[in-house]
Structure 1
Amino acid sequence: MKKTLYLVLSLVLSGVAAMAQNAGPINPTGNFKMAAPQPFLFSVNTLTGSSPYWSLNYSGSYGERTLTPFGYDGVDQQLAVKGYLGNQFTLYANAALGFARDGGTTSAQQAELMHDFIGGKQLFGPRIGLSLGGSRDWTNVKSIFSRVTASFDAASWRFAGNLRFEKAFDKSRDGIDLITSLGFHHRIIGNFYAGAEAVGEDLEGFWEADEAEGGAKLLIGPSVNYIPSGSRFGFSICGGPIIYATHSNVVPSEAVRDLSTLSQNGYTVRAQVSFNLH
């Protein structure tokens, strides 16, 4: 399965390189109707008045050697809603359902409100914001979190990054969890973008031997986003190896994590379909 994953990713990158040689001219003014409401799989970007106002996003993922009590060693499904509320405010909420290999199922939910303090009035240019949200993880542990969001959109490329601080209301968890993510896309042709995404979770594991979620985890892999011309649908895919950078001496918890807690290195692939309601 691992060889198959790498073969698929290699074919995607080969296709991207071939199309790059025949890329058409870039429209310097862009087209807000074709803007992606959620182009990245691991970084959340804010919306603007020039972006699609409301969208539904369905994603599914598969991973191996990601054994955890909440079912990421297999398949999980997620449905999210994202919308622009005006005055530089963005709402993002999702619910996830995980299917364990032993036949069990678990669920988790979270919601947050983001506000751009720098930029956020136009699609192109920099945006820096802050969010406040809450979540319920797979074992019914509640958490509050805050996310620093940064993004930059141009006619031919886009960037998004998050720095998330999370406080779980459970004595077995860390005082504060730290999660970072970065994504970069470059326009290849038309509304086809390709690039890479990187994620670092529970990074306090680099300096805390008793990090409660099992240690620091890293992922980096290719990322693709495509919106067919004139369509309300958008498609994204990202995947790659998950590296367990450090190993905690504490039994991992069941906090909500995009990269599941690993006993050894593994991999994950996530695909998403977005539907623009505006």
Structure 2
Amino acid sequence: MRAARILWIWLLASAPGAAWADGPATERPYTWQSYGAGAPMSGTVAYDLGVGTRNSRFFGADGVEQGVRLRFQPWRGLAFEAFGGALLHPDHAARGAGAFDVVGRALWQEAAGVDLDLGAGYGFDYRERHVLRARAVLGRTFGAVDVRLGGALEVPLSGQGDAADVSLTLGASLRVTPWWRQGIELAGEDLEGLWEDEEAEGGAKLLFGPTAYFTLGGAVELRLNLAAVYAPPSAGARAGTGAETWGLLGRASVAYTFGGPGD
């Protein structure tokens, strides 16, 4: 069943869609990055589905994460985001999680040569930890090519797990058509495991794979990602395997944006 879900996501991520129209003024084509820019006085509702995500992997390989994400954009460079999710696993009772973030654009490419987005927020994860979060994304667009480098820091308030979790992300995408942007993403999770002897999440991990981003009618966005998950030998030893380990992660998100200029 899990293999069938991953195969479905892979096929969709690799093939172009049909009858799609021009995209929204501000696109969000990456899985692990969020921007502060958007259409003023607009709102977005998104449904997310994930298999093998970082949070679900903590409970085993077969967990399915799904959630609803809300975004309100009062100004062009400031947004408020809220998330509520549920983790479904055959060997565990359902678990809930939530988060609230404020994200804004501090620099704009047209004025500074690069885009810089900063965000901060609070989360309650599936392990029942209260977490403070901070993140930054630096990016630039070169014609049809877009490149983004991001970093995130999570600090648990409950004293459980690591003192802090560090991650880095890199995304690049090419506009293939007005409605299709094809990209690739790389991410390093729990990087503090590279220098800490004890790491609660099992050590550092590297994720890499394709991301396809489609838009429909300027209001609907579809994002599909499939990534390989690699844990180096040191992380495998912490997890009890004593060797490097591989896994798969699949994510899908569909979002609808309403309001903004012209509505």
1:48–1:121 CA contact under 8 A, matched in 2: no
| Runs of at least 5 residues in structure 2 that lack an aligned partner in the other structure | none
> Are residues 112 and 48 of structure 1, via their aligned partners in 2, closer, same or farther at CA, if it must alter by over 3 Å?
same
Taking the TM superposition and a 5 Å limit, the aligned residue runs for 1:1-278 are 5=6, 9=10, 12-13=13-14, 15=15, 34-35=24-25, 37-49=27-39, 53-63=42-52, 67-69=57-59, 73-86=62-75, 88-102=77-91, 104-119=93-108, 126-153=114-141, 155-228=143-216, 230-245=217-232, 246-247=234-235, 264-278=245-259
1:39–1:225 CA contact under 8 A, matched in 2: yes
Please tell me the root mean square deviation across aligned C-alpha atoms, in Å. Answer: 3.3
For residues 219 and 52 of structure 1, the distance between their equivalents in structure 2, rounded to whole angstroms, comes to 35
CA offsets per residue over residues 62-103 of structure 1, 9 Å max, x none? 23996533x762311021112322262222221111101126
3-state SS in 2 of match to 1:104: strand
2:229–2:248 CA contact under 8 A, matched in 1: yes
CA offsets per residue over residues 28-77 of structure 1, 9 Å max, x none? xxx7x62355322221122145x7832111110123996533x7623110
Displacement of 1:211: 1.6
The structure whose residues are more often strand, as a share, is 2
| Runs of at least 5 residues in structure 1 that lack an aligned partner in the other structure | 20-30, 253-262
Letter in 2 for 1:40: Y
2:9–2:226 CA contact under 8 A, matched in 1: no
CA offsets per residue over residues 113-155 of structure 1, 9 Å max, x none? 1222211789x96311322211111132111111112233455
2:53–2:65 CA contact under 8 A, matched in 1: no
For residues 67 and 80 of structure 1, the distance between their equivalents in structure 2, rounded to whole angstroms, comes to 21
> Are residues 101 and 67 of structure 1, via their aligned partners in 2, closer, same or farther at CA, if it must alter by over 3 Å?
farther
Letter in 2 for 1:183: G
2:13–2:226 CA contact under 8 A, matched in 1: no
For residues 64 and 126 of structure 1, the distance between their equivalents in structure 2, rounded to whole angstroms, comes to 30
> Are residues 174 and 248 of structure 1, via their aligned partners in 2, closer, same or farther at CA, if it must alter by over 3 Å?
farther
- Larger mean CA deviation between 180-189 and 146-155 belongs to 146-155
For residues 40 and 64 of structure 1, the distance between their equivalents in structure 2, rounded to whole angstroms, comes to 15
For residues 86 and 121 of structure 1, the distance between their equivalents in structure 2, rounded to whole angstroms, comes to 18
CA offsets per residue over residues 204-248 of structure 1, 9 Å max, x none? 1111121222100111000000112x2421111001211112327
3-state SS in 1 of match to 2:199: coil
TM-score, normalising length from structure 1?
0.76
3-state SS in 2 of match to 1:247: helix
Aligned residues: 249
For residues 174 and 42 of structure 2, the distance between their equivalents in structure 1, rounded to whole angstroms, comes to 23
Letter in 1 for 2:98: Q
